[in-house]
Amino acid sequence: MLEGILIGLSTALSITNILMVIGGCLIGTFIGMLPGLGPMSIIAIMIPVAISMGDPAAALILLAGVYYGAIFGGSTSSILLNAPGVAGTVASSFDGYPMARAGKAGKALTIAAIASFAGGTIGALLLMVFAPMLSSVALLFHSAEYFALMVVGLSAIAAFAGTGQVAKALLMTLLGLIMATVGEGALFNMPRFTMGIMDLQSGFGFITLAMAMFALPEAIFLVLKPADAHGDGGKITELRISREEGRKIAPVIGRQSLQGFFIGVLPGAGATIASFLGYAVERNIATKEEQEEFGKGSIKGLAAPESANNAACTGSFVPLLTLGIPGSGTTAILLGALIALNVTPGPRLMIDEPQIFWAVIISMYLGNLVLLILNLPLIPYIAKVLEVPRNYLIPFILFFTLMGAYIGQNNATELLILVGFGVCATVLRFADYPLAPLLIGFILGSMLEDNFARSMQLFDGVSFIWERPMTLGLLVIAALLVVLPSYRARRARARQQGVADGD
């Protein structure tokens, strides 16, 4: 291992590869900031450039830099415009955007940058130490365990519901699951619920739905309530975090970096589930006073998903490099790039081509350092987006929303779907329904169905639930995540009633 690390250091620290790291991080950060242009699109575009280099290590370092750079930069549009263009940064908008509206955009971006750096760095160190060991752990997970993991992800909806809104959150989650069934099913390659519209054969696009749930209602809301268009969002008063705030978020970053990394190791889990679970876990273990802040500008609520999603990105390279199994759509494209470069990922990669395996891991640490150095000085300038009067910011939000939806599918029908869902989301927002659970249900719905269908075929029914201890354990955890918030709320009410009776 030590010999491999030294080989990786000598490869990663060459002038060419350092330039690849810097270039990949710059491109990824810029693309991540633009809603709709996620890492999958830009990596697919850059594969011919990477292949033309001839050096597999340099090519993979460049593409990896674009990947985690896009996740790092994706939080910017979520925080400033409430327009998450990457699934892994949706949870960052829940508390990041309220902070920006309260005049703390600079502080929110600083927390996001520090949490992202810490998550990515801890993930890189864990990858270096545990990669060979974790490859065997990842093999223990089959479709039954992935189904249970998706249920755990869905059980986090209680964390995205306000006080007394668990029923509303559950309803929105079910709506998201229903929307995930539109298009071709897991068992049969036949279109479902498309109403004869060919453009719906592949289902609704995530980017379109994310923009419809968050960005478009924000623009409509500002038009319908012009008084809010002159809020405190334009006053950038705080850029630094205090020592006390640093002490608050440090344990959150540590916990979620570890949890995010281990979730990222599991093929098919990825940054999205890691960020949602990170947010849910931190809200559930927070004190009652801190729980009230979640969704209104909690620094813990921003640090948790940012640490988790960046650590998960690093973790997703474990199954890719050690097993040749892509953990997400982006790593599937990276797998295609590896094969095109005549590199065979799998258990032999570490032995046959250590200069590629270890150079990529070393470059991840360097990349996170580069991202921090590049982004921290730019925060005051990036935050100035909010100094633009809200009246002028509305067309800007609408432009990126429409552009992101169109680029996502390259289909004009997406614009009609976007507007329709955007109007519905605005009505739901006025009716005080949480929109995040709908998106969680939609994102996890197709993966839940695929793995459930596969498990049913393998076990001839639902016997896999009790026949596989790991599946049963995960489902018990999911049940606890749903029951615990309700139990805590009931206990708090009983305590208050007891105090009232005592008076």
Q: Which of 283-297, 326-340, 368-382, 407-421 is the least confident region?
A: 326-340
Q: Look at residue 250 and give its three-state secondary structure.
A: helix
User: By mean pLDDT, which of 314-323, 385-394, 450-459 is the weakest?
Assistant: 385-394
pLDDT at 164 over 60: no
The predicted model gives 206-235 an average pLDDT of 67
Instruction: Give the span between the Cα atoms of 102 and 98, in whole angstroms.
Output: 6
Mean pLDDT of the region 301-320: 85
- The whole model's pTM is what? 0.72
pLDDT at 135 over 70: no
- For residue 242, the 8-state DSSP code is P
The sign of the CA dihedral 341, 67, 261, 331 is negative
* β partners of residue 80: none
Beta bridge partners of 34: none
Report yes or no: 15 and 22 within 8 Å, Cβ to Cβ.
Answer: no
Is the distance from CB of 66 to CB of 21 less than 8 angstroms? no
Alpha carbon distance 386, 237 (integer Å): 12
Cα gap 352→70, rounded to integer Å: 30
As given in the structure block, the two tokens for residue 221 are 């809301």
- Whether the predicted pLDDT of 325 surpasses 80: no
DSSP secondary-structure letter at 460?
T
Asked which of 11-15, 99-103, 132-136, 159-163 is least confident by mean pLDDT, the reply is: 159-163
Instruction: With cut-offs at 50, 70 and 90, classify the pLDDT of residue 163.
Output: low
Check whether 437 has a pLDDT greater than 60. Answer: yes
Residue 498 CA to residue 495 CA, distance in Å, equals 5
Show Cβ contacts of residue 97 under 8 Å, excluding neighbours closer than 6 positions.
78, 79, 80, 81, 82
Which tokens sit at 308? 């988790």
- The distance from CA 163 to its chain's CA centroid, rounded to whole angstroms, is 25
Q: At 191, which helix (H) or strand (E)?
A: strand 191-192
Q: What is the mean pLDDT of the chain?
A: 78
Domain ranges within the chain, ordered by starting residue:
2-227+248-409+436-502
Please give the span between the terminal C-alpha atoms of the chain, in angstroms, as a whole number.
67
423, burial (CB in 10 Å: exposed 0-12, middle 13-18, buried 19+): middle
pLDDT, tens only, 222-268: 777 655 544 444 455 566 788 888 888 999 999 999 999 888 877 66
| Helical axes 354-375 vs 56-81, angle rounded to 10° | 30
pLDDT of 440 above 50: yes
- Reading the block at residue 53, the tokens are 């280099």
Section 82-105 average pLDDT: 81
Look at the block and give the residue holding tokens 């939080």: 75
Round to whole Å and give the CA distance between 451 and 475. Answer: 14
CB neighbour burial string for 365-375, b if at least 16 within 10 angstroms, e if fewer? bbbbbbbbebb
Only one residue has tokens 């029951």, namely 483
Query: Which H, E and C letters describe 126-184, residue by residue?
Result: HHHHHHHHHHHHHHCCCHHHHHHHHHHHHHHHHHHCCCCCHHHHHHHHHHHHHHHCCEE
Instruction: Name residues whose C-beta falls within 8 Å of residue 382's C-beta, 6 or more positions apart in sequence.
Output: 76, 80, 109
* SS3 assignment, position 55: coil
Please say whether the beta carbons of 307 and 261 come within 8 A.
no
Evaluate whether 327 touches 316 at the Cβ level (below 8 Å). Answer: yes
What sections of 232-269 are H helices per DSSP? 243-265
**Bridge pairing between strands 183-184 and 191-192:** antiparallel
pLDDT of residue 41: 66
Q: How is residue 241 annotated by DSSP?
A: P
In eight-state DSSP terms, residue 214 is: I
Which H helix or E strand runs over 406?
helix 390-409
For residues 114 and 304, the answer to whether their CB atoms sit within 8 Å is: no
Q: How many CB atoms lie within 10 A of CB 140?
A: 9
